[in-house]
């Protein structure tokens, strides 16, 4: 599961890294992004040509056909995303990338911050959108992370960003093959303070590692 994450990269860095044609979102970078808040998403669509855009969507997918009172879904399991009624349309036609510097996970009452361990400050979660709402795909966590939580976001490597965003890639078997091509993440986990448990707290100290006793 992914229920909180972090994005503090500046717009110029993200525009260069993700090769954006347009940047429309107004979301302020945050050290404690929570469900129902606006998040940055990257999508491709056709105008006169294929355009890659970063804009905002509400975190918590609500299908366009949902009735009032439908509970937003913040995550979608990668293993079944092409089958579930709420997800199979968006994963074929409205895939997105969700830029992040890392995410939080809880082991009991102890929060951990997990980020890339190879010096790259930004990663891209696989996401799906419907009517400007979004869910983040998750997968089984590798053994190194499984002691913290049994699920982790599906993190798309740079070499697959184009394929993930490609609006032509829309057959269920193609989508399943693409998901299967995403390698296991290599993440650096570190214990952080419990202050992250309150969405009212939002500053760089939240990702500072705790000193070991």
134 has catalytic annotation: no
First CA to last CA distance, the chain: 28
Alpha-carbon gap, residue 186 to 202, rounded angstroms: 26
158-172 burial, b at 16+ Cβ within 10 Å, e below that, comes to eebbeebbeeeeeee
Query: Among this protein's residues, is 105 annotated catalytic?
Result: yes
Do the beta carbons of residue 207 and residue 191 sit within 8 Å?
A: no
Catalytic residue among 2, 96, 129, 134: 2
Residues 6+ apart with CB under 8 A from 197: 111
Q: Distance of alpha carbon 201 from its chain centroid, rounded?
A: 21
Q: How far is CA 111 from CA 4, 131, 193, in A?
A: 10, 32, 7
Decide: helix, strand or coil at residue 85. coil
Which tokens sit at 212? 């070991």
Could you tell me which of 80, 81, 74 has the C-alpha nearest to residue 57? 74
Of 44, 96, 105, 134, which one is the catalytic site residue?
A: 105
Residue among 160, 2, 161, 170 at smallest CA distance from 91 = 170
The catalytic residues are: 2, 105
């Amino acid at each position: 599961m992914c229920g909180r994450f972090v994005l503090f990269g500046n717009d110029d860095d993200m525009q260069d890294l993700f090769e954006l044609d347009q940047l429309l979102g107004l979301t302020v970078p945050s050290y404690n992004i929570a469900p129902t808040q606006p998040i940055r998403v990257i999508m491709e669509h056709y105008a006169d040509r294929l355009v890659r855009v970063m804009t905002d969507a509400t975190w918590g997918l609500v299908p366009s056909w949902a009735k009032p009172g439908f509970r937003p879904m913040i995550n979608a399991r990668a293993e079944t995303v092409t089958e579930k009624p709420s997800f199979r349309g968006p994963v074929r036609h409205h895939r997105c990338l969700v830029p992040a510097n890392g995410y939080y996970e809880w082991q009991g009452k102890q929060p951990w911050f997990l980020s890339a361990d190879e010096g790259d400050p930004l990663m891209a979660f696989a996401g799906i959108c419907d009517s400007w709402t979004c869910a983040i795909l998750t997968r089984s966590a590798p053994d190194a992370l499984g002691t913290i939580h049994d699920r982790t976001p599906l993190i798309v490597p740079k070499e697959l960003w184009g394929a993930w965003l490609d609006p032509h890639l829309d057959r269920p078997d193609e989508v399943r093959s693409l998901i299967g091509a995403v390698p296991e993440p290599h993440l650096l986990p570190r214990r952080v303070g419990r202050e992250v448990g309150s969405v009212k707290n939002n500053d760089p100290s939240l990702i500072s590692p705790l000193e070991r006793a």
